Amino acid sequence: MPDEHPEPLSPLEQFAHDLREEVRRRCAENAPPDELERGFTEWCLEELAGHNEADGAEVLPDRPFRAESRGPWPAAKLNAWALSGDGATLDLFVTLYHGGDGVPTVGTTDTRRQFKLLLGFLRRAREGFHTQLQEREDVFEVARRIHEATDSLTTVRLFFLTDGVARAEDIEEEELEGVELRYVLWDLKKLAQLRPGQREVIELDFEKDYGGVVPCLVGPDAREYQTYLAFMPGPMLAQIYGEHGQRLLERNVRAFLQVKGKVNKGLQQTLREAPHRFLAYNNGLCCTAAEVRLAKRKDGQMGLAWARDFQIVNGGQTTASIYHAVKKERLSVDDVVVQVKLTVLEEPEKIGELVPLIARYANSQNKVNAADLAANGPFHHQLEQLSRTVWAPAIGGLARGTHWYYERARGSYLDDKARQGTPARRREWEKSNPPNQKFTKTDLAKFEHAWLGLPHLVCLGAEKNFVRFAERMQDDGEPEVNLDYFRHTVAKAILWRTAEKLFDTLDLEGYRANSVAYAVAWLAEKSGRRIDLNRIWTEQRLSPALCEAVKAVCREAWEHLNHQQGNIGEASKKAECWEAFRKKELALTGNWQAEWAEAAFVAPRSEEEALAGTWERLRHQFLGDARTIEGLEAYTGREWVRTRRRDTVSSYAALTWDQLRQQPGLGLKRIRALVEMLQIAADE
């Protein structure tokens, strides 16, 4: 008999289980290994971009590139890549995905081999390997652009992504003439550090354990936080890092790049030749804590005596370099002083929101733009709140309603689930918030852009598409987030995810996401965005007629993309490729047009625009209504304008929105009251 009370999973085992469930959710049922590996790679890149660890990376759209060693060409593998606009910085990614149960171990030999495979691809590309490839191959464009950037390339980061726990002892970064190479490992343990609630809280007693109270200045109280400017002695910082290591950096998690990088070499030179100037030359650390305690120093001044949940969110390179100087170089850091800006948050629940922003603004190496911070705006907060309170209709008499969970902040779904406490409560919570009904900010951007007829933006990849989505909302204004907007967003999610499942039944190979984006966009365009989102929400599925239309258009989209000249993935990102498909007249069997709604589903950008849409939808129901306004008041229990009580309802219903707005004495407030009365009457 199976054990009714299995041993509880460790936090890392639980994280591995949840991660693999998320990967399976992204992929087709019975997905082959390459597709699962691609899903895992996509998830990793979204997480790393969200934590400012990698930016703008693209996954190879079909399958990873693999090549054995042959002739002058070394063995190579590539899953994803990113090249900066100036061609100076290149990120290459290789993935090793197991996907099974438990927590596998990746030995040092395997870890070293993955980095060698990436280095093999880099060498191939720099030496003109693209001339040996067909232009249609996904990797052709990558290899060509790297080859063209050879002269401008200064820094290459090689990323190894895995769902195992990797060992990396004694792995030396290789040298490549003219290029600074950096090895970056993201294994299961390190990925788990990105998830809220997975850290060990560090307490530092400066007074008792580290040589004394730290000199500091107290900044003004800023309501949400309190800031302290401290001056930490070098030996103290080295001792703290020696005891706690990478756990100090779990909200920074930027890997220490040994001493080969230009920044680190400069730090070492200062520590060796002019340690007393370190405070003048170095920007110092940016840290956070949940709580601090002050005490008097021997000179009578106040200083930091103790801190709880101490984290270095910016300055990991400085910290590790000082430790390296003491431990490896045997240098004295007695004259070294490091400036520390310590922020103590008054509300611990805001840590997940504020700490990433503090880290981003503090890090001068990375450009910060409004799109990076968009998920913290009111639009996303309102959508998140609705997703926690609105119940989707139950399907079937024995079923119950569920939530469509909008994960505004990364990891919040698993964090909310973990907070339920007992396994039984977690299972109950998951029934109300099914994993397959979770959607993220990048999912939202995908659904919206496909619906608006912008599938070429979707094909840019999750993060780049979201940046375009955020920029578009900045330029055009954010839509009003109300109950209708939330329901229609969920309906678009159902449309997209159903299209993915239907594509999987067509026995087509490759370019699933691109084809689905084009198919959904074509259907939205041809219907004038009148696919009935209200019906999809109510039934929580697509109608049989719409399913048949989706399947047919998915096949046509796949055929269209596969007939493009050159590289398919690159072609799908171009507006002219989409425009050619948009103009196609496809002969679809079935009568999906019969199910179109009367009006288009386009989210309003203001209250007035929302009222205008509601008015145009409602007024047609009252064109023949002979009642007076007084009669309507009696029916709805509302009062309107006393001087207009003898007017007929139909006399107003005959007016378009523009005509109604021109009526003297009817401002927006009075029109809103009239619309509410008509809505009550229509509902009754």
Cβ atoms within 10 Å, residue 566: 12
516 half-sphere exposure, CB direction, 13 A CA radius? 25
DSSP, collapsed to helix, strand or coil, labels residue 183 as: strand
Closest residue by Cα to residue 202 from 310, 290, 355? 310
CA distance 171 to 111: 8
Q: Residue 438: which H helix or E strand, with range?
A: strand 438-440
- Report which residue type is found at 133: L
Q: How far is CA 629 from the centre of its chain?
A: 51
Answer yes or no: are the C-beta atoms of 673 and 652 closer than 8 Å: no
CA distance 78 to 266: 32
- Sequence-separated (6 or more) residues with CB below 8 Å from residue 145: 83
Residue 445 is predicted with a pLDDT of: 94
What are 156's strand-pairing partners? 90, 181
Quote the Cα angle for 161-163-169, to 5°.
Answer: 65
Residues 10, 23: Cα–Cα separation, whole Å: 20
Instruction: Name beta bridge partners: 311.
Output: 288
| DSSP per residue, 325-354 | HHHTS----TT-EEEEEEEEES-GGGHHHH
Residue 61 tokens read as: 């759209």
Q: How many residues does the chain have?
A: 684
Give CA angle at 566 (564, 567), nearest 5°: 90
Mark out the alpha helices in 434-589 (DSSP H runs): 441-451, 455-458, 462-476, 483-504, 512-526, 533-539, 544-562, 568-572, 575-582
Under a CB-based contact definition with an 8 Å cutoff, are residues 293 and 237 in contact? no
Question: Which pLDDT belongs to residue 258?
Answer: 41
Tell me what pLDDT residue 503 has.
94
SS3 category, 129? helix
Is residue 451 a contact partner of residue 492, using CB atoms and an 8 Å limit?
Answer: yes
Phi-psi map region of 19: left, alpha, beta (phi>0 left; psi -120 to 50 alpha): alpha
Q: What is the pLDDT of residue 574?
A: 93
CB 428 within 8 A of CB 474: no
> Which pLDDT score, from 0 to 100, does residue 342 have?
93
Distance, in Å, from the CA atom of 229 to the CA atom of 218, rounded to the nearest integer, reads 7
Q: Which residues of the chain have pLDDT under 70?
A: 1-7, 50-52, 195-200, 245-247, 250-265, 328, 348-376, 396-399, 603-606
| Torsion angle of the four alpha carbons 656, 658, 663, 668, in this order, in degrees rounded to the nearest 10 | 110
User: Which of helix, strand or coil describes residue 226?
Assistant: strand
DSSP letter assigned to residue 396: S
Q: Supply the pLDDT for residue 559.
A: 96
- pTM for the whole structure: 0.64
3-state class of 216 per DSSP? strand
The dihedral over CA atoms of 97, 100, 101, 103, expressed in degrees to the nearest 10, equals -20
- Nearest by Cα to 61 from 571, 569, 446, 499: 569
- Which helix (H) or strand (E) segment holds residue 96: the answer is strand 89-96
